[in-house]
Amino acid sequence: MGLNKKAVILLSGGLDSATVLYWAVNKGYRAQALIFDYGQRHRREVGSAKALCKKAGVPYRAISINLPWQGSSLLDKKSVLPKAKTVKDIGAHIPSTYVPGRNTLFLSYGLSLAEAAGAGAVMIGANALDYSGYPDCRPDFIAAMAKVFRLGTRAGRQGRPIRIIAPLLKLTKAQIIKLGNKLGVPYKLTWSCYSGGEKPCGTCDSCLLRAKGFSETKKKDPAGLYSQKRKTKI
């Protein structure tokens, strides 16, 4: 039996998941995106995810998840988002922007959709190099969830395990951007800032890591807002 080339893409609307979406299409996968509205501080990234799907010609499902217990500054608008002084400070500790169990939930929903739709893989833009230190973006977590996929599904027990594919896991942000540029990812449509609003804040972890990535590639960010010179050092 040949490789099942049908896949569910977990799509946030950010730089990493957008790259995974275009990587999947380039590799010949019949992709379907899964977009989450989980009560985050803003909906800009949801709009970006839908725009990316439209641009790529990929169908999507958008679902809402209610997390009334919050537990993260990404969910509680009254909380102050952390601001790193330099990129070197990012990842030293797990920040308040960590959402408890988020990727566990996202992968579980992706698994359910994949099995119901007969897909052979769930793809995620997790990255463990230029990242905020989240525990659910690390290789050992992805490996553990792959075991859950195999043991907790009918497909897995019948010898047709649904794979987790995380093609960016061991790439730097600059390497991800270089890959995306080769794939034609429309980074102009993506949104990375934790704050939302009309313009990126330029000081949250995500903004700084994005600016660092484009700076290292010596390419301008097509979104035009993240890599402007600001008081916070890259």
The pLDDT assigned to 228 comes to: 45
- CATH number, domain with residue 112: 3.40.50.620
The whole-angstrom separation of Cα 105 and Cα 197 is: 26
Q: Report how many domains make up the chain.
A: 1
Residues of the chain with pLDDT under 70: 1, 85, 225-234
Residue 19 has what pLDDT?
Answer: 98
Residue 234: per-residue pLDDT: 45
Residue 113 CB burial class (10 angstroms; 0-12, 13-18, ≥19): middle
Q: Are 163 and 120 in contact (CB under 8 A)?
A: yes
Burial class (CB in 10 A: 0-12, 13-18, 19+), 59: exposed
Provide the residue range defining the domain that includes 71.
6-78+99-192
Q: What is the pLDDT of residue 84?
A: 73
Residue 178 located in a structural domain: yes
Cα gap 114→84, rounded to integer Å:
37
Residue 1 confidence (pLDDT): 57
Please, which residues bridge with residue 62 across strands?
A: 35
* Distance in angstroms (rounded) separating the CA atoms of residues 141 and 103: 10
215 inside domain? no
What's the pLDDT tens digit per position in 71-117?
A: 999 999 889 998 876 787 788 889 999 999 999 999 999 999 999 99
Which pLDDT does position 119 carry in this prediction?
Answer: 98
14 part of a folded domain:
yes
Q: Which residues contact 168 (CB under 8 A, 6 or more apart)?
A: 16, 19, 20, 125, 126, 127, 176, 179
